[in-house]
Chains A and B, each alone.
Chain A
Amino acid sequence: MTPTSSTLAPRSRARVLLARLEGPQTMGRGPAFWGTAFLAVAAAAAYPLMADAWTVGNAAYFLIWTFMAMGLGVVWGYAGALSFGQTAFFGFAGYAYGVLTLNLGAAYGLTFVALALSVAFGGLFALVIGYFMFYGRIQGVFIGIVTLSVTLVLETFMAQTAGPQWRIGEARLNGFNGMSGMPPLTLPWFGGDILLYPGPSLYYLLLGLVVVCYLGLRIMLNSRFGNVLVAIRENPHRVGMLGYDVRLYQMLAFGIGGAFAALSGALYTAWGQYITPSSMGLTSAALPIVWVAVGGRRDITATLIGTLVVLAGFQSLTIYGSQYALVVMGTLLLLTVLAAPEGLVVGAMKLLGRVFQRSKR
């Protein structure tokens, strides 16, 4: 074990962090994996050069959801607490971004302040819910029920805010129709602000965020914190006996998952400049579960790939026959749980790994 005390030079501390990019809790290691990952990012970065602005804006839309999926992966796949209510934090942060930007305006990079504040609010909200759940020591299926109830009640609450008395400062909540007209993310720049409408500039920002969050989560999951989370998933009693406060770790994991869902929510509002209560409804709440379950919940890479693949598939389905898309999603979910409980991408990655091992011998 490498010592991590504060007396170490900053350079070796960075090396410790980098070493944690690989570890027992994440799949993929060695030059082959990182080479493929680098190629994938390079291809993603080159993509806007080949596609038109609308398609790039659409790809940015896919990237927005990956944060919520990775957060759910941490909460469900790693910490073992199945949350149905990630959309509660998504919608909460989406509304928070709307209210903040409509009141603060878009000058001086204040939209990014609003983004950061919304994520913080969403994370705090998740911590509060997590405190009551995990310190109440409820487990298993009950966590799912409570989180689902939270998101459904929030939806009902926001849907009835139609009257003119429901306003926060300049921002009217607008009930079932939702809020709209908030400014997009705005970068202050010499000679005029840059408005990040859906298009290449927003796409690059999101791509960078996805890479940073993905690598950050890999480091976190392979650190002591991540190892304890996985241990709690496997055997909470033993972890408690070893002297860890299981409740605290679960609550923190839930808060992190909530903050990631909140990041998705605030970015979504900034992307489309609208947010409605149905983003917290039953159907919306089901979608993150589908992405994560189909991709594979116990590995952050599989979650990321699975989410992008399922989203792309879902959208092409919506184009060809929108009404059948949800039926196909439901069937996909059912078949995955029945036939490949680990997830399709995890299965494929394990297969690839085995092929690689064999060819090396």
Chain B
Amino acid sequence: MALFQSIFAMLYQFGDTFAFLVISCAGLAVIFGMMGVINLAHGEFIMCGAYVTASAARAGMPLPMAILSGALVAGIVGMIVERLVIRHFYHRPLDSIIATWGISLIATQGVLIVLGSTMQGVGTPLGSVEVGIRSYSLYRLVLMACALGLLGGLYILFYHSRFGVIARATIQKPQMALALGVDTGRVYGLTFGLGAALAGLAGGLYAPTMTMVPTMGATFIVESFVTVVVGGADIFVGAAPAAAILALIKAGLTAWYGQLFGQIGLLITVILVIRILPGGLSGWIKGTTR
């Protein structure tokens, strides 16, 4: 029984980190994988989703609905930003980083001016479950299920739906897709909006567990970037195994040495991975199966 308990504790720790990595990197990964744009305003879309979720939930909306509305608002904001700014940078990927960083500065400070330095959040729902002597937050178990659902949903969306086929065609051969009658501008807009909505979803899902401050997006940034880098250029192949490996390393180090060493461990892993596997995990997996 004691063995079972400690195994459960480790699995819980691992699953929690895995869910965090997958949920927080999904939006970034879709935008980078499909469009080659690194969205440095990723954290601000997360913040946007979290703020909308918290306000909606406090206005009396049930939490799942509030989370979805957070994702929706972030997605719409994302499509507007794509139309106004990102559209001009598809041929200049380095400049797109700078531009999104500009957006990020404006958004963080703008929210600070308009809404103040902090906002009342929502409490963590669902209470806890007892396993042996320790108790675990049930909401975090739900988050793990959400992460798996998210991976499955994205796979189905991009590989088994009409939108997915058109989107992948647009990414691979934009001229050809255009010649075949695809409105590529609209596809880019929708893809960016989807990425922003996923970021908003991450914010909404983690809103009940965090303090609402304008800089809250920064807590997600390092982890999501690290996952995308380790995953490599092909997001659908690389992101899930990357998140699993990083979660294992981070959960292990956190359990033994504490929170900080978990984060430093992540950084060292990334630096070693790019030295050994320059293409990331997806490059390595594709190389071995070819």
B260–A149 contact, CB under 8 A? no
Which residues of A, 120-150, contact B by the 8 Å Cβ criterion?
A: 129, 132-133, 135-138, 140-142, 144-146, 148-150
Instruction: Contacts A82-B97, A157-B264 given; indicate if A327 touches B275 (C-beta within 8 A).
Output: no
A136-B278, A138-B274, A138-B278 known; A144-B97 Cβ under 8 A: yes
Q: Is B267 an interface residue (CB 8 A)?
A: yes
The total of chain A residues at the interface (CB under 8 A) is 41
A329 and B105 within 8 A (CB): yes
**B96: shortest Cβ distance to chain A, in Å?**
8
CB pair B97 A146 closer than 8 Å:
no
Pick the contact of B274: A146, A156, A281, A337 (CB < 8 A): A146
Collect the chain B residues with CB atoms within 8 Å of residue A318's CB: none
**Nearest residue in A to B225 (C-beta to C-beta)?**
A145
Would you call A330 and B270 a contact (CB within 8 A)? no
A141 B260 Cβ-Cβ under 8 A: no
* B267 close to A149 (CB less than 8 A): yes
The interface residues of chain B lying within 8 Å CB-to-CB of A160 are 260
**Please, how many angstroms separate the alpha-carbon atoms of A138 and B272 in the complex?**
12
The answer to whether B93 touches A140 (Cβ under 8 A) is yes
> Nearest Cβ distance between residue A283 and chain B, in whole angstroms?
8
B101 touches which of A133, A136, A324, A333 (Cβ 8 Å) = A333
A156 to B265, CA, bound (A): 13
The interface residues of chain B, by DSSP majority, are classed as helix
Q: In the complex where A152-B218, A330-B104, A331-B106 touch, is A337 in contact with B271 (Cβ < 8 A)?
A: no
A289 contact set on B, CB distance < 8 A = 98, 101
**Cα distance A120–B99 in the bound complex, in angstroms:** 33
Complex CA distance for A253 and B244, rounded to whole angstroms: 35
Complex A-B, nearest 10 residue pairs according to Cβ-Cβ distance, in ascending order: A330-B105, A334-B102, A333-B102, A330-B106, A326-B109, A136-B274, A136-B275, A141-B38, A330-B102, A145-B225
User: B-contacting residues of A (Cβ < 8 Å)?
Assistant: 82, 129, 132-133, 135-138, 140-142, 144-146, 148-150, 152-153, 156-157, 160, 281-283, 286, 289, 293, 323-324, 326-327, 329-334, 337-338, 341
A146-B229, A148-B221, A152-B222 known; 18 new pairs, CB 8 Å cut-off, are: A129-B271, A132-B272, A132-B274, A135-B275, A136-B276, A140-B93, A144-B97, A145-B228, A145-B229, A149-B222, A149-B225, A149-B267, A152-B218, A157-B260, A286-B101, A327-B109, A334-B102, A337-B98
